[in-house]
């Protein structure tokens, strides 16, 4: 089967992602999935794809793809000054391409991750219902490694007519030098000292460069390590765990399913999207969240993007 | 105790020991939750806890709390429905060359390494939780004589198949990576080569036995 496109340059870390692994968490599998789910969902929506269609997550840019067919793609997420045969394309839109043309992404000046979606979604292997690559879970092939130079790609409906579409400007998330993360307090929250609990909402941290797809690590004031947790506890998305050095980390898509350190609670799942785009040095604060307001926002998002959950 | 760690999740901690009976009661509660709560998307049992995650379209924390409280009460009142199934049997080579902490555990227990092997392989373990990494199982309880806390500083690299002890828990590292458990033996790596097989091997509430093998049999199994 001849490819519909070939990745000339994958950049520092380019993986295949989708909405993540809904099943298998009970067996210890990381959820995986697009770090910035909003940007990923928009990319598929621009093309009229299924919201869970497999796409590329391109960390920091430095990416090039040569097309072998006439087709379209959608670009969202971090602005990497994308060009098609040298002509700027803009982002948060669909782009039509002809055979032989090359889509290039420069290095992003703001944001961490760009997304490229394809009509019908990439044709790639799945495990536990998802094509998301989780390197730490040790899957074979593209389920367990980043793309390499020369990687051939195929997508389901290369010839499908895709009108030029843009995400409305007011819906494109702004770049930001500071983020406030809504925090649902829980887990061992009540067992942290009063001083620590106050500090969580007063202090300012910054995103540490050691952050990755597993966790966003925060640098700044240290908390007491909190209570000793005797047995690892099941985690939810965005769980905030305080490790031995007293610094909080926010678990992201490639997180473990259970964790053994003291935990403050969890970050609003929707706020994880902006956090996934926060460059090292971005200022981070926590604010107390209303869990039911977050639940309603999650429900709105699932309705808007047409996300369905099989029982 | 029931808490709500996320916008559509509840975490139940049963007031029982995190042992074979404890995980059996948690699994009873999981069955109850699967039947009684609408639109559950994920359940994760671990030790004496159960996490349930629902749908943002139907989640009602007050309703979930009252149903889980009733379910937990019923599970605590009844005998635990233990369904350990056939034990998973794994060969282990207890050899100091393959297991950097075997001699330290023996010294700490005041016995020889052969006795550590005998004590470790003389028990049928219960899987108390899975997770940390896919295919990793927390098993208990290890004989108190060979129990030891984990290393203060984790090793940067543990070989796949390494059998470790942390307090009264034992587990096998399914893949290479950092780890702080005391390593006392090695299962041939071939048992961890296939991702799907590795992930499916252990289930919470299941039972596991270790069969001591010598170095020749270990090497014959692919080392």
Say if B11 is an interface residue toward chain A (CB within 8 Å). Answer: yes
A vs B, Cβ pairs < 8 A, gives 134
Q: Is residue B143 located within the same domain as residue B108? A: yes
Q: Which of B8, B132, B199 sits opposite A295 (nearest CB)?
A: B8
pLDDT tens for chain A, 311 residues long, are: 899 999 999 999 999 999 999 888 888 999 999 999 999 999 999 999 999 999 999 999 999 999 999 999 999 999 999 999 999 999 999 999 999 999 999 999 899 999 999 999 999 999 999 999 999 888 889 999 999 999 999 999 999 988 999 999 999 998 888 999 999 999 999 999 999 999 999 999 999 999 999 999 999 999 986 787 778 999 999 999 998 889 999 999 999 999 888 999 999 999 999 999 999 999 999 999 999 999 999 999 999 999 988 65
| Chain-chain contact of A236 with B5 (C-beta, under 8 angstroms) | yes
**Which two structure tokens, joined as six digits, stand for A262?**
């003291």
CATH number reported for the structural domain that contains residue B52 in this entry: 3.30.1360.40
pLDDT at B195: 82
pLDDT at A224: 84
Q: How far is A302 from chain B (nearest CA, A)?
A: 9
Average pLDDT, chain B: 94
In chain B, count of helices (H) and strands (E)?
Answer: 6, 13
> Which of A19, A21, A27, A290 is best to mutate for the B interface (most B CBs within 10 A)?
A27
| Chain-chain contact of A231 with B49 (C-beta, under 8 angstroms) | yes
CATH class of A178-305: mainly beta
Q: Is residue B45 located within the same domain as residue B135? A: no
Q: Is residue B181 located within the same domain as residue B216? A: yes
Q: Is residue B204 located within the same domain as residue B94? A: yes
- CB contacts, 8 Å: B174 with chain A: 138
Q: Is residue B92 located within the same domain as residue B68? A: no
Say if A295 is an interface residue toward chain B (CB within 8 Å). Answer: yes
Domains of chain A: which residue ranges?
A: 5-171, 178-305
> Which of A28, A140, A187 is best to mutate for the B interface (most B CBs within 10 A)?
A28
* Contact (CB, 8 A) for A11 and A63: yes
Q: Is residue B129 located within the same domain as residue B56? A: no
B56, B77, B98 — which closes off a domain? Answer: B77
As a three-state string, the secondary structure of chain A is CCCCEEEEECCCEEEEECCCCCCCHHHCCCCCCCCCHHHHHHHHHHCCCCCCCCEEEEECEEEEEEECCCEEEEEEECCCCCEECCEECCCCEEEEECCCCEEEEEECCCCCEEEEECCCCECCCCECCECCCCHHHCCCHHHCCCCCCCEEECECCCCCCCCCCECCHHHCCCCCCEEEEEEEECCCHHHCCHHHHHHHHHCCEEECCCCCCCEEEEECCCCCCCCCCCCCEECCCCEEEECCCCCEEEECCCCCCEECCEEEEEECCCHHHHHHCCCCCCEEEEEECCHHHHHHHHHHHHHHHCCCCCC
Distance CA A193, CA A199 (A): 10
In-domain check, residue B82: no
pLDDT at B34: 96
B13, B46, B77 — which closes off a domain? Answer: B77
- CB contacts, 8 Å: A30 with chain B: 134
| Of A253, A137, A218, A264, the residue nearest B132 (C-alpha) | A137
Q: B152 exposed, middle or buried (CB, 10 Å; 0-12, 13-18, 19+)?
A: exposed
| Chain-chain contact of B130 with A27 (C-beta, under 8 angstroms) | yes
In-domain check, residue B67: yes
B51, B77, B103 — which closes off a domain? Answer: B77
Q: Is residue B191 located within the same domain as residue B106? A: yes
Q: Which of B7, B49, B133 sits opposite A269 (nearest CB)?
A: B7
pLDDT at B194: 85
The residues in B 106-165 lying below 8 A from A, measured between CB atoms, are 128-136, 138
In-domain check, residue B53: yes
Say if A302 is an interface residue toward chain B (CB within 8 Å). Answer: yes
Domain that holds residue B117: 88-220
ipTM attached to this prediction: 0.94
What would the pLDDT profile of B169-180 be if each residue is shown by its tens digit? 999 999 888 888
Q: Which residue of B has its CA nearest to A186?
A: B5
CATH number reported for the structural domain that contains residue B144 in this entry: 2.40.100.10
- CB contacts, 8 Å: A230 with chain B: 18
| Chain-chain contact of A234 with B46 (C-beta, under 8 angstroms) | yes
In-domain check, residue B83: no
CA angle (B179 as vertex; B176, B183 as ends), nearest 5: 90
As a three-state string, the secondary structure of A27-82 is HCCCCCCCCCHHHHHHHHHHCCCCCCCCEEEEECEEEEEEECCCEEEEEEECCCCC
Q: Is residue B26 located within the same domain as residue B131? A: no
What is the count of structural domains for chain B?
2
- CB contacts, 8 Å: B134 with chain A: 24, 27-30, 137-138
- CB contacts, 8 Å: B158 with chain A: none
In-domain check, residue B129: yes
pLDDT at A193: 94
pLDDT at B21: 94
pLDDT at A310: 65
Reduced to 3 states (helix: H, G, I; strand: E, B; else coil), residue B132 is coil
* Residue ranges in chain B modelled with pLDDT below 70: none
Q: Which of B41, B45, B195 sits opposite A138 (nearest CB)?
A: B195
- CB contacts, 8 Å: B3 with chain A: 186-187
Neighbours of A85 (CB within 10 A): 12
pLDDT at A311: 53
């Amino acid at each position: 089967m001849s490819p519909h496109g070939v990745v000339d340059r994958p950049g520092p870390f380019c993986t295949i992602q989708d909405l993540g692994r809904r099943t298998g968490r009970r067996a210890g599998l990381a959820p995986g999935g697009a770090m910035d789910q909003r940007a990923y969902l928009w990319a598929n929506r621009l093309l009229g794809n299924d919201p869970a269609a497999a796409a590329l997550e391109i960390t920091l840019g430095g990416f090039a793809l040569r097309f072998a067919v006439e087709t379209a793609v959608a670009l969202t997420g971090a602005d990497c000054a994308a060009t098609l045969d040298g002509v700027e394309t803009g982002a948060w839109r669909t782009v039509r391409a002809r055979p032989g043309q090359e889509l290039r992404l420069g290095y992003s000046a703001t944001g961490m991750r760009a997304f490229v979606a394809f009509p019908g979604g990439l044709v790639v292997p799945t495990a536990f219902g998802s094509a998301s690559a989780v390197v730490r879970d040790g899957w074979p092939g593209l389920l367990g490694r980043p793309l390499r130079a020369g990687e051939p790609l195929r997508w389901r409906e290369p010839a499908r007519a895709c009108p030029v579409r843009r995400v409305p400007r007011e819906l494109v998330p702004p770049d930001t030098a500071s983020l406030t993360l809504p925090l649902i307090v829980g887990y061992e929250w009540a067992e942290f000292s009063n001083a620590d609990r106050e500090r969580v909402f007063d202090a300012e941290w910054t995103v540490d460069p050691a952050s990755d797809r597993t966790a966003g690590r925060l640098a700044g004031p240290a908390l007491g390590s909190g209570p000793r947790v005797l047995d690892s506890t099941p985690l939810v998305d965005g769980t905030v765990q305080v490790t031995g050095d007293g610094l909080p980390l926010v678990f992201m898509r490639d997180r473990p399913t259970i964790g053994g350190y003291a935990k403050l609670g969890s970050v609003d799942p929707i706020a994880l999207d902006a956090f996934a785009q926060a460059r090292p040095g971005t200022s981070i604060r926590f604010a107390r969240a209303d869990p039911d307001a977050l639940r309603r926002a999650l429900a709105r998002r699932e309705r808007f993007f047409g996300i369905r959950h099989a029982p | 105790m029931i808490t709500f760690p996320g916008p559509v999740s509840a975490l139940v901690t049963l007031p029982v020991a995190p042992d074979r009976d404890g995980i059996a009661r948690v699994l009873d509660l999981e069955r109850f939750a699967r039947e009684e709560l609408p639109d559950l998307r994920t359940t994760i049992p671990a030790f004496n806890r159960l996490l349930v995650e629902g749908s943002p379209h139907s989640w009602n924390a007050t309703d979930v709390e009252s149903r889980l409280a009733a379910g937990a009460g019923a599970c605590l009142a009844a005998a635990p429905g233990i369904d350990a199934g056939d034990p998973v049997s794994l060969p282990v080579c207890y050899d100091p060359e393959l297991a950097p902490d075997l001699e330290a555990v023996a010294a700490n227990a005041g016995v020889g390494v052969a006795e550590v092997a005998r004590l470790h392989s003389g028990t049928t373990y219960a899987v108390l939780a899975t997770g940390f990494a896919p295919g990793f199982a927390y098993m208990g309880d290890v004989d108190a004589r060979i129990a030891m806390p984990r290393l203060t500083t984790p090793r940067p690299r543990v070989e796949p198949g390494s059998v470790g002890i942390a307090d009264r828990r034992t587990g096998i590292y399914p893949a290479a990576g950092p780890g702080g458990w005391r390593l006392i033996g090695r299962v041939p790596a071939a048992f961890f080569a296939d991702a799907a097989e590795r992930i499916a091997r252990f289930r919470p509430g299941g039972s596991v036995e270790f069969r001591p093998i010598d170095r020749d049999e270990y090497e014959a199994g692919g080392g």
